[in-house]
Chains A and B, each alone.
Chain A
């Protein structure tokens, strides 16, 4: 089976222009990263701010081109720098961003937000678009009455549901999730993670899940890639990475994650008493 997404040696450089006093320089945001994701699986990309994980998300979503390297979606080579982006390719990959307060246009109704990808990428009629948006609202746990409301009338978790619904309108193969739950409360986070799991089962979706929260990654991922300064320092199945981290940075990351279990509290209190 060909993987839904395959990346070979992806490199992305940014040119920072110089000025009178500063020399121009090149920032290597992603330095040769390779990975593959099969249908219905979740690849989690973990790393700190500035490690290049969001740059990689933009490349996978075909927002930015890679400087070099090959990307294949469904076995088909994609190069938006030379070939541009066709509606067919756009339909295959969609993205959900971190902050649901910033990604929904406050002047548009939810129904219009959901229909917009269809207007741009398909030739559907208005009533078809409406029916599809209504059906999608129900799929993500909202109701038909929400169709005519504005984003400010929703809570953070509901807005993230709308953002997920919008991403699914074109029936994509691959969904890139850039920190989709880090702006949400714990209980809402659980609801959105459950929703993502349900949708994955229903549509056989493939996820690229970007996060810095290891407890969420451990819960949702099949494969894990750890990035550090633009390089993939660790890549393997979830159990491999979590049970036997190889790279020293991965170990540091695991050690730094606060643990909320009784044993580690006991150990801490014992250290404090001593």
Chain B
């Protein structure tokens, strides 16, 4: 059985000029122990579809799907309080801006212990012990001392480690990482990606990495979904996507990488593909 199963997900926002479809009929599955990468440019609906699965979108968003199941449980039908028991515990998420996603008014220790109290109901001593254990796991030096620090006292890379520790605190079955390294330097990016992949392998978690960086996809994913303007354009395992991309859009995306530049000019997508041509190859 798949961990997360989404069929025909549609997310609409009401705007002044009528409804806007941010996600248009996306289906996906993630199995236990599998790493799925969702790639796309800004506006491709890659973050919105995952926020919809987490139930984190504002009430203005209209979410419909034929199927939205986590571990065999229907997520759409449940009340928001039931859902909150799953979200943050069994499905955890890491966001792009580590410094912005931590609360600046509380110590990082308070923020990680809050999760442990709400979801696991541990007592004070057990929470502190577990928090120190988690900080060690994600490679934060002097964990006991670090617990009393505020986010602004830590670097971006350290804050992202705290976010990962919080996400992992309840041993989630599925971890969704939304551009986990975009705001970080390359050497720090390498450390964080290595850490995520190590933890994923050790815990056998299912994982979804949302990114626009083809290098990150190549370094992490088992399977890849390419999205464009809210639609799924291609789904393939990572090797065949890079070796023999089926859709014209993926080919264009790969050839726009400066790594693959042949000659003086980079091929650009708009120069030789229209929206219709891109969608013609779309898969469901």
- Contact residues of A with B, CB < 8 Å? 48-49, 156, 185-191, 193-194, 197, 212, 214-216, 218-220, 252-253, 255-262, 264-266, 268-269, 272
Contacts of B269 in A (CB 8 A): 187, 190
Whole-angstrom distance between the Cβ of B217 and the nearest chain A Cβ:
7
Q: Which residue on chain B has the smallest CB distance to residue A219?
A: B258
Say yes or no: B239 contacts A265, CB within 8 Å.
yes
Given known contacts A187-B252, A256-B189, A261-B242, A194 and B268 CB-to-CB distance under 8 angstroms: yes
Is B217 touching A260 in the complex (CB atoms < 8 A)?
Answer: yes
Interface of A is mostly: helix
Contact yes or no, A186 B217, CB < 8 A: no
Asked if B139 is at the interface (CB within 8 A of a chain A CB), the reply is no
Q: Contact: B242 with A260, CB < 8 Å?
A: yes
Spell out B's residues near A (CB within 8 Å).
Answer: 41-42, 156, 185-190, 193, 201, 212-219, 238-239, 242-243, 252-254, 256-261, 264-270
Cβ A48 vs Cβ B218 within 8 A: no
A265–B218 touching, CB < 8 Å = yes
| Chain A CB within 10 A, most for which of B215, B238, B264 | B215
Q: Is the beta-carbon distance between B257 and A260 smaller than 8 angstroms?
A: yes
| Least CB distance, B128 to chain A, in whole angstroms | 29
Q: Which of B156, B215, B256 contacts A189 (CB 8 A)?
A: B256
Residue from B214, B218, B243 within 8 A of A186 (CB atoms):
B214
Q: Is the CB of B185 within 8 A of A212?
A: yes
13 sample A-B contacts, Cβ–Cβ < 8 Å, listed by A number? A186-B253, A188-B41, A190-B266, A191-B270, A253-B186, A258-B190, A258-B193, A258-B218, A259-B215, A259-B219, A260-B254, A264-B218, A264-B219
Residues from chain A with a CB closer than 8 A to the CB of B260 are 260
Q: Which 8 A-B pairs have the closest CB atoms?
A: A258-B215, A256-B190, A219-B258, A190-B266, A187-B269, A185-B41, A48-B185, A260-B214
CA distance A268 to B253 in the complex (A): 22
CA distance A170 to B254 in the complex (A): 37
Excluding A190-B266, A220-B258, A257-B186, 9 further A-B contacts by CB distance (< 8 Å) are A48-B185, A48-B186, A186-B257, A187-B270, A219-B261, A256-B187, A258-B193, A260-B218, A260-B254
- A residues near B189, Cβ cutoff 8 Å: 256, 258
Q: How many whole Å from B230's CB to the nearest CB in chain A?
A: 15
Q: Which of B185, B243, B258, B264: most chain A Cβ within 10 A?
A: B258
Of listed A220, A257, A266, residue having the most chain B CB within 10 A: A257
Residues of A within 8 A of B261 (CB): 219
Nearest to B273 among chain A residues (CB) is A187
* CB-CB nearest in chain B for A218: B258
- A194 contacts B186, CB within 8 Å? no
- In the complex, chain A residues whose CB is within 8 Å of the CB of B257: 186, 215, 260
